[in-house]
Amino acid sequence: MTSIIDKKRFTKILILGAGAIGSFYGSQLSKNNNVELIGNKEHIEIINVKGLKLKGAIEEIYNIPSSQFITEIPSNSMLIVTTKAYDLENSLNAIKSLINKDTVIFLLQNGLGNEELSKQILGEDTVILRGICTAGVEFILPGIIDVKHIGETTLPDNNVGRRIAALFSESDLKIILSKNIIYEIWKKLTMNCVINPLTAIFRVPNYLIADKSLKKVISSIVSECQTVAEKEGVTLESGLEDMLLTALSNYSNLSSMCQDIIKQRKTEIEFLNGKISELGDKYNVPTPVNDTLTSLIRFMEGKKWS
């Protein structure tokens, strides 16, 4: 499936935005690669003293070089971007002068349009791939993350995607190679439009929203996403709702948006349900449920909820 060139190891793998998901990927890739975590001050300081502790599905401590900022990107490096979608522009602008012609940018983020924005900032010739992550991970305390569900990583089935897939597989990360990554992005977006706002509003683990009392709400969210996706040239299968509800049973974690609301932080709502509303306006497609969820989360952001 892969050639010798595809399997060529990166000189360094930098994880930009090493929160829960970034720390998880960094820990697993550090088994066989030269990895550096880039994250916030408190998290990084604990890791450099005590190591990165994973609990739950993986119980281990990883000693990984960690920094607050990227000061150098060696030739033949990969930058895995796991920042919040709303931080993407500022994060890339801060390091674009360090990026080399052979740097591979791998985006593991929520939302839609991340690749296009990255190309605008870094240039059309930059190698940028988008991946989809289904891991369920929670940030417990600085230096400690809880792995609830290991999940899979979906990559585009091309030369660079296969190169990354080989490295991920070597580090025991489950991989899916897709010939239609745009479809996968839209499928994940739709799932996030259901899971993130509903779990954030009710402040419950993901699996609890698979309740029959919410079935009509979930059906409406999915239907609006499907209609907007069709306008964008993407056909989402009719069984997506059932697939989502079945998948939810595997996720006992709190969604990233739920964690953000609890911690009184900004959320990615504008890149999820807000993006569906934006495209609905563009195509004159009514999206009342996504509009409402976007407004509710906007109201909840940054406020203390007892």
Q: How confident is the prediction along the chain (306 residues), in pLDDT tens digits per residue?
A: 333 334 478 999 999 999 999 999 999 999 999 999 999 999 999 999 999 999 999 999 999 999 999 999 999 999 999 999 999 999 999 999 999 999 999 999 999 999 999 999 999 999 999 999 999 999 999 999 999 989 999 999 999 999 999 999 999 999 999 999 999 999 999 999 999 999 999 999 999 999 999 999 999 999 999 999 999 999 998 888 888 888 888 888 899 999 999 999 999 999 999 999 999 999 999 999 999 999 999 999 988 876
What are 249-292's pLDDT values in tens digits?
888 889 999 999 999 999 999 999 999 999 999 999 999 999 99
Distance CA 300, CA 286 (A): 24
Phi-psi map region of 13: left, alpha, beta (phi>0 left; psi -120 to 50 alpha): beta
Residues 6+ apart with CB under 8 A from 133: 21, 25, 108, 151, 152, 153
Residues 6+ apart with CB under 8 A from 46: 141, 142, 143
Closest by Cα among 124, 114, 121 to 192 = 114
Residue 112 near residue 185 (C-beta atoms within 8 A): yes
Count CA atoms within 13 Å of residue 287 on its CB side. Answer: 28
Strand partners, 129: 106
What are 93-110's pLDDT values in tens digits?
999 999 999 999 999 999
Take residue 104 and report the two structure tokens written for it. 């591979």
Domain-by-domain residue ranges, the chain? 12-179, 182-300
Strand partners, 77: 12
CATH 1.10.1040.10 fits 182-300, yes or no: yes
Q: Give domain 12-179's CATH number out of 3.40.50.280, 3.30.420.40, 3.20.190.10, 3.40.50.720.
A: 3.40.50.720
Task: For tokens 């900022």, name the residue.
Answer: 69
pTM: 0.92
Distance CA 32, CA 37 (A): 15
Residue 35 near residue 13 (C-beta atoms within 8 A): yes
